[in-house]
Amino acid sequence: MTHHEPHKVNRIGWLRAAVLGANDGIVSTASLIIGVAAASSSQESVLLAGVAGLVAGAMSMAAGEYVSVSSQTDTEKADLALEARSLEQNYEMEKQELAEIYEDRGIEPALATEVAAQLMAYDALGAHARDEIGISETVTARPVQAAMSSAASFTVGAMLPLLVAWFMPRSVLILAVAIASLVFLATLGGLAAHVGGARISVGAIRVTFWGALAMALTAGVGHLFGVVA
């Protein structure tokens, strides 16, 4: 009977983009709302700033992820093209190179040579992409998926503090947004850690700390400029 362990590495691509987007959505929007509110703006101005931050942030996250991951994809394609040419021109040398990689991992020389020969006979480029370059189907770059995950998760994250600001009276808006956002961040950090197979407490504390710091600094700036104005 075949036994398969449920590994988490296949979630790296979308999980990283989703967590980054949601975290940025909560932190940036909450910080923006708190900063504008600390400058003694009206609730309408605070909400307008929050909505503008949500739209701009979602588009920025999508564009940034797409460009970043596309650059990774371009690099992967260039490396694969280079490896394909090398296989055409120096097949035996590439076979020996692959065998040496397996030897370095602890396989006996004769067996390493046989493994390299069989793998290259089946899929030479795939074997070198995986074991020499480090490119595999599991962790390969997917620009569109990353962009959509980031934009969607940013929007969801940004909506949370924005909804709190919408329903809370102006007198308690800053405190309510800050507390609610920290709860959202702790939940997000714990959930991301759980999905990724890490310790929930570490993930929650890590995300909450940096979110609290960002909101505190933004509130200080907003208060300072509000007083000056």
Return the minimum-mean-pLDDT range out of 53-67, 79-93, 162-176, 187-201.
187-201
Q: How does pLDDT run across 14-46, given as a tens digit for each residue?
A: 566 677 788 888 888 988 898 888 887 788 888
Is 48 a member of any domain? yes
Is 1 a member of any domain? no
CB 208: neighbour CB atoms within 10 A?
20
Residues sharing a CB contact under 8 Å with residue 57, sequence separation 6 or more, in sequence order: 24, 25, 28, 29, 154, 158
Is 28 a member of any domain? yes
163 band by pLDDT with thresholds 50, 70 and 90: very high
Is-contact 125 81, C-beta < 8 A? no
pLDDT of residue 141: 61
140 band by pLDDT with thresholds 50, 70 and 90: low
pLDDT at 159 over 90: yes
Is-contact 198 44, C-beta < 8 A? no
Q: Specify burial of residue 16 (Cβ count, 10 A radius: 0-12, 13-18, 19+).
A: middle
pLDDT of residue 155: 93
Q: How many domains does the chain have?
A: 1
User: By residue range, what is the domain housing residue 78?
Assistant: 10-228
Is 68 a member of any domain? yes
pLDDT at 162 over 70: yes
Residues sharing a CB contact under 8 Å with residue 107, sequence separation 6 or more, in sequence order: 115
Global pTM exceeds 0.75: no
Is 4 a member of any domain? no
